[in-house]
Amino acid sequence: MEKLTNWFNEKFIPATMAFGELKYLKALRDGMIVAVPLTFIGSIFLILSNLPIPGWYDTIAPISKQLGVMSSVTIGLTGLVMAIGLGYQVSKLNEIDPLSGTAIVVICYVITMLTPEFEVDPGLWGSGGIFSAIIVSIVAAEIMRFFYKHKITIKLPSSVPPAVFNSFAALIPASVAIFFFWLVRVGLNVDINTLINSMFAPLVFGLNSIWGVLIMTLLTCVLWMVGIHGNNAIGWIATPVWTAALTANMEAFAAGQPAPYLIADGFGNFGMNIGGTGAIMGLSFCMCFLSKSERYKTLGKIAFPPTIFQISEPVMFGFPVVLNPIIGIPFIIAPLVLQAMTYFLMSAGWIGHVVASVPWTCPPIINGFLLTGGDWRAALWSGIQVVLAILIYYPFFKACDRRALKEEREEAVENSEENTASNEVLFEH
């Protein structure tokens, strides 16, 4: 056991942290965030267009096309938006003028997404183009970096305004990058987007299985247990896949078709993220309402309100959960059990699939209703999960609570004896 612990601390954790800090992984993490507000906006209009209220469709029929525009221009252009965000981030990391670099990446992306007739079709710039946005931004950035690094650029006097200087400096790198993608897509007639999607297919398949989601959940919780932000450390693996799945589900939902993916971005709100990573609301509830020790009762009053909005740090480091072998057991078990149960409920069609995006601070029950496009059964299941999380945490919390209560009583007795001794000394004097 000691050898395993040493290997984990000396090899696995440093390797995970170093890998997560690689240049293009940082660009991926920061560049994809730009699409998050747009999916929120698109989700609002998507839900408004599909509220499960009798007669609702007839009520909004006169403005249904207008409402659909908002979801089309947000959700339907996710791939393009990510190409913009990734282009900006990779340009900054490669010390390329961000404006020029972003523009070049976007042009390369548009060329990549041409139809078989070599026509521009914005309808392809949604979920099906997310993986291409990732690869195109990296390849285009590397081509440009090579030319900038070896100073193969048009040189102008320093007196030239910076905007003009940067534009001309980017001319040769831009020409080569754009020509490269033109040659592959048009000259050689290679369907780059289809090729890239086929490369990602095994990862997509794995992360949309019960084992894929459970392994990601387990690794995230284990990393948190040793003080590493597991969501950030390994989230980059699943984020592109689950974001693409969510976008595809949203597009299908808007078209009135079944959602193609069971696991998508937001699935973690059904178990993993109830109150924060590790279904931590179960623990904060126990502290706030079921604690007998003053230590945990006081902490619970402070920590429980934030967990309603998925903020877990007060519990994570205040209890603490980190490096706590007792509470670490339910911290890992609770999300695994709840995620597995959600998977099978969705597979059986008893609750709807994730078809919308909500802010990560959205409370349980409400987020279950919104994530599934207004499925009351999902909201009910989200509430049941809160109860199950409390039940899973309770026996382990009581063990900690009893120990804390015992320590408080012993401390009170010691303080009482010290005060008595002090009073006796004063009385003698």
Task: Write b or e for each residue in 26-35: b if 16 or more Cβ atoms lie within 10 A of its Cβ, otherwise e.
Answer: ebbebbbebb
Measure the CA–CA gap between 44 and 29, rounded to whole angstroms: 24
- Residue 19 to residues 73, 93, 224, 236: CA-CA distances in angstroms? 35, 16, 17, 10
Measure the CA–CA gap between 137 and 114, rounded to whole angstroms: 16
How many Å from the N-terminal Cα to the C-terminal Cα in the chain?
59
Looking at residue 126, the DSSP 8-state letter turns out to be S
Return the ∠ at Cα 393 (arms to 388 and 398), rounded to 5°.
135
Q: How many CA atoms does the CB half-sphere of 229 hold within 13 Å?
A: 7
Which residue, 81, 93, 74, 28, is CA-closest to 241? 28
- Residue 257 to residues 204, 253, 261, 329: CA-CA distances in angstroms? 21, 6, 12, 41
Per-residue pLDDT of the chain (429 residues; tens, 9 = 90+): 456 556 656 666 666 656 556 677 778 878 888 888 888 888 888 888 877 777 777 788 788 888 778 878 888 888 999 999 999 999 888 888 888 899 999 999 999 999 999 999 988 898 889 999 999 999 999 899 998 888 888 876 666 666 667 777 788 899 999 999 999 999 999 999 999 999 988 888 888 899 999 999 998 898 888 777 777 767 777 888 898 999 999 989 888 889 999 999 999 999 889 988 899 999 999 999 999 988 888 888 988 999 999 888 888 888 888 888 889 999 999 999 999 999 999 999 999 999 998 888 889 999 999 999 889 999 999 999 999 999 999 999 999 989 988 888 887 777 665 555 555 555 555
The answer to whether 216 touches 238, Cβ cutoff 8 Å, is yes
Measure the CA–CA gap between 372 and 383, rounded to whole angstroms: 14
Residue 384 class from Cβ within 10 Å (0-12 exposed, 13-18 middle, 19+ buried)?
Answer: middle
Residue 176 DSSP SS3:
helix
pTM for the full predicted model: 0.81
Helix (H) or strand (E) holding 244: helix 230-254
Q: How many CB atoms lie within 10 A of CB 191?
A: 16
The answer to whether 188 touches 170, Cβ cutoff 8 Å, is no
Measure the CA–CA gap between 169 and 165, rounded to whole angstroms: 6
